[in-house]
Structure 1
Amino acid sequence: MPEPPVREAPLPDPPVPDPPVPGPSHGRLRRPGRRAVLTVAAAGAGAALASTLSACSAAGGSSRGVTLTFSWWGNDDRAARTEKAVRLFEQENPGITVRTSNGDFGAYMQKLATQAAGGGIPDVAQLDYRQISQYAGGGALLRLDEILSGGAIRTAEMDRGFLRTGTYEERQFALPMGRGITGYAYDAALYRKAGIRTPRPSWTWQEWADANRRITALGLKAPDGRPFTGANDNGPNEDIFETWLRSRGGRLYTSQTELGFTEDDLAEFWTFCDDLRRAGTVAGSKDTVQAHSIETSPMGRGLAAADFTWDAPFPGYVGLLGGDIRFAPVPTTGGRAGSYFKATMLLGIGSGTAHPEEAARLVDFLLNDVRAGDILGFTRSTPPNRVIADRVASTLTGPEKEIYQYARTMEEYGLAAPPTAPPRGDVPIQTAFTRIYQRVLYDLATPRQAARELLAEADRELRP
């Protein structure tokens, strides 16, 4: 899904250089030929990428006349901060020039796919979670295992389980740039009015459903005069289904070619959603299909008291609806949380790069240099480097601070490790998930019939 805009604090003044994050020094890699790199990336196994580490100068190395390409998507604030961090990298690495490009989510995804099909993605590219298997399996990404083991890109301050989000077939192909987590934006004033206590990390799906009923029972009216409901309809959203499934001990996929859930699992979830909609306690069909952003969501249009969301776009609800909007945990099944920390986006190195050493140095700088961390802030949600995250978090206020504290609370509560990147067929399956549930919304299929349709379509997409 296109990423909603992220609200950020004003761009900071040029930072005063700080001591580097503890960890191995930058290393220099022996550069393989283009054919060798492509072979290693496409096979995902076989001969390891040879690397030799050597000491770098204080300026970060002695590369001369090297030009790297680096692309990403995001809003204007992210673009300005990223450009500033890149310029600092160039100052620290004389002889390396970084040619940058960025765009909105949809245009960026299309351009990257075209580049991959045409012979190569940029030297360094920002990637979506659902692109890893596609590009790693297709040979477009450089395998990073040997680069990481050699210390050219440091991961000591990153959670090892979280790094799995950038793996394909047990090999590392990308590294997370931000750590996100799901939750519910909700109107705390309305919850108090309805006598609903503040949601805790252990609250259940049944308590969530009861909260929706109690909100609806207040008899409030939306701006257009229609009845006000408790929340959005969860049915079209594969992310919510995955969270629900994980809270019951399940998972979306067991491998690159197999689903991790049954027809019964999905039919039960869609029946749960459909029953709430028919009872009028969640948003109706027409409002659900119109929800493509914060502004067009049932909550954003004044039709509901809560809406499922990721942490990064949450401040948008506060800006739209005011300070009573808070961030609540996703419900559990008997106290078992289904949420997990997901990479908001990742960095990968193109397998066709002529400069793997310098590309690795840029990736390491963006992820681990505290000065870069000061500049980038939370533009990609919580930085994966713990030292940088704690440092930047000390400057946060308002909803951004609430997001950070929420993540800490959920980490302490206990979450299962995130899954590896989904299979290449996940993108069309995600699209089908929404489309097929819409048949339920308009009484064109029962939840059971729709679940059967989804599994048949998923089987075709995942077939080797």
Structure 2
Amino acid sequence: MKNKRIVSAAMAVLMAGSLAACGGSSAGSSFAVSSEAASSAAASTSADAPVTLRITWWGGQTRHDLTQQVLDLYTSEHPNITFEAVPSGWDGYFEKLATDTATGGMPDIVQMDYMYISTYAQNGSLADLSSYISDGTIDASGIDEALMNASNIGGKTVGIPLSTSLVSFTYNPGVLEEAGLEAPADGWTWDDFAAAAKTVKEKTGKYGMGGSPVIDTNLFNYWVRGYGENLFSEDKKSLGYEDDKITEDFFAYWLDLIDAGAVPNPDEYEQIATLGNDANPVITNDAAFHQSWNNFTTIGANAGNDTLKMVTPPTNAKNTKALWYKPGMFFCVSETSNVKKEAAEFINWFLNSDEANDIMMGERGTPASAAAREHLINSGNLTAQQQDMFNFVDTAAAYCGNTPAADPAGISEINTIFKNIGYAVFYGQTTPADAAAQFRSEVNAVLAANN
């Protein structure tokens, strides 16, 4: 409870744009260093003066190792630039970022998710990178317009998309074979998935799926879109669908699988989460499926399992085009950074250089830069999993609808509400119907207060 109070307090500071923790003025910015002052400081930095860039990202150990190699290479080519790296797992990443940001300690370069970028942009935490694009410091010409538009919030370009991602299901062919099951095909249904997950548990004792369906709202967003609805209203002030049966059915569906032992209960999942992505049950041959993004088979291969395959998520007959192309993640620059120019230069190099892409090899997803994609395809160095990741962007097109706007301000609190209510259902503390009504009430209150 203490940690939750700390995070809640930090997010409250963010939402309110409080200046108390930073000692700033009330004009123009939520933080001590104004945009003008930071830009001036960056401009005055000598090209040869020592610069330390603080950078943070989430991921597994493989991402940490590869990113550190990229940082080391950049320093070798730019001896005046050194990095203070702050890597993290996904769990707890945004709670810590909220606390750091509220106290004026946001790193210079921040790996940002589409789910949270609106929250940080609307609170003045992220620098406008438009000038660095217009003056050529950042070459964004090879990034699809729709992806770039995703980071244009309030008329400001607050992030540079690094990759394209789609919700996907990773499967372990060996575990399915052990259970006597055939591999799923695109267009399979939620009934197909439930039957397969239960069969895996019955035949092998292993999990049907080794993750949690309520760790955030991404899978639920896909579920809602499967009914032809939107998770959030256009003005972001309320949920975008009226029928609570949609939410009730989601909780009931996963409760059934958890009760069958085919999906981890909350206690089991929390233990799994401490091991990190690289030890995910589908990677360690202890589960048949994992719901993630289309780079997860590459993550699995980097962690030592090169047998994993990918399939589009189960479909709902009401709307088979529930998928959407999502910016995999962004690099953003903090408004408080005194070295914005140097941060922008590094982001450009990370995005577009052959050297950086030869190290990362699409670990963060299919590169957003067309030049990077072309280079990697022509290199002949892509693994089978990396080729599948690139191809998945095309094969999934038949199941894709319009890309929704970035998630609204308050999404961090909404995710916490969603997880807590989901866990209450899975622990038998409330019913799916009551949980659905509670979710609507609490989420609408958060949305109305923050948007």
TM-score (norm 1): 0.73
Instruction: Spell out, residue by residue over 1:127-156, the C-alpha distance to the aligned partner (whole angstroms, 9 max, x if none).
Output: 343442232222221122343344432222
1:312 corresponds, among 253, 275, 295, to 295
Following the alignment from structure 1 to structure 2, what is the Cα–Cα distance between the partners of residues 269 and 170? 36
Alignment of 1:138-153 (within 5 A): 138-153=123-138
Following the alignment from structure 1 to structure 2, what is the Cα–Cα distance between the partners of residues 447 and 399? 38
Distance 1:221 1:63, change over 3 A: closer
Residues 1:185 and 2:170 aligned together: yes
1:65 corresponds, among 41, 49, 56, to 49
Shift of 1:370: 2.4
Per residue, is there more helix in 1 or in 2? 2
1:346 corresponds, among 313, 330, 338, to 330
Following the alignment from structure 2 to structure 1, what is the Cα–Cα distance between the partners of residues 336 and 142? 29
**Residue equivalent to 1:406:** 392
Shift of 1:125: 2.8
Distance 1:374 1:186, change over 3 A: closer
Following the alignment from structure 1 to structure 2, what is the Cα–Cα distance between the partners of residues 204 and 431? 28
Equivalent residues of 1:212, 1:230 under 8 A apart: yes
Shift of 1:212: 3.7
Equivalent residues of 2:255, 2:426 under 8 A apart: yes
Q: Which runs of 5+ in 1 are unaligned?
A: 1-37, 52-60, 223-227
Residues 1:251 and 2:230 aligned together: yes
**Residue equivalent to 1:367:** 351
Alignment of 1:228-243 (within 5 A): 230-231=208-209, 235-237=213-215, 238-243=217-222
**AA in 2 matched with 1:310:** W
Following the alignment from structure 2 to structure 1, what is the Cα–Cα distance between the partners of residues 238 and 100? 29
1:448 corresponds, among 415, 423, 433, to 433
Shift of 1:208: 2.5
The DSSP-based 3-state class of the residue aligned with 1:282 is coil
Shift of 1:178: 3.0
Shift of 1:81: 4.1
User: Which protein is bigger by CA-based radius of gyration?
Assistant: 1
Equivalent residues of 1:234, 1:273 under 8 A apart: no
**Residue equivalent to 1:272:** 253
Equivalent residues of 1:152, 1:364 under 8 A apart: yes
Question: Identity across aligned pairs (percent)?
Answer: 23
Following the alignment from structure 1 to structure 2, what is the Cα–Cα distance between the partners of residues 373 and 317? 19
How many pairs does the alignment contain?
407
**Residue equivalent to 2:142:** 157
Equivalent residues of 2:172, 2:285 under 8 A apart: no
1:199 corresponds, among 170, 180, 184, to 184
Q: Which runs of 5+ in 2 are unaligned?
A: 1-25, 40-44
Distance 1:274 1:170, change over 3 A: farther
The DSSP-based 3-state class of the residue aligned with 1:257 is coil
The DSSP-based 3-state class of the residue aligned with 1:463 is helix
**AA in 1 matched with 2:218:** D
Q: CA RMSD in A?
A: 4.0
Residues 1:283 and 2:263 aligned together: yes
**Residue equivalent to 1:425:** 410
Shift of 1:344: 3.7
Following the alignment from structure 2 to structure 1, what is the Cα–Cα distance between the partners of residues 304 and 363? 22
Following the alignment from structure 2 to structure 1, what is the Cα–Cα distance between the partners of residues 212 and 342? 44
Following the alignment from structure 2 to structure 1, what is the Cα–Cα distance between the partners of residues 134 and 446? 35
Following the alignment from structure 1 to structure 2, what is the Cα–Cα distance between the partners of residues 252 and 161? 20
The DSSP-based 3-state class of the residue aligned with 1:261 is coil
Distance 1:144 1:184, change over 3 A: same
Bigger mean CA offset, 283-292 vs 155-164: 283-292
2:382 corresponds, among 378, 391, 396, to 396
Shift of 1:312: 3.5
Instruction: Spell out, residue by residue over 1:408-463, the C-alpha distance to the aligned partner (whole angstroms, 9 max, x if none).
Output: 4224x352343333223111221221221222223221111011111222123223
Distance 1:426 1:114, change over 3 A: closer
Shift of 1:299: 5.0
Equivalent residues of 1:287, 1:297 under 8 A apart: no
Shift of 1:368: 1.6
Distance 1:208 1:159, change over 3 A: same
Shift of 1:304: 4.5
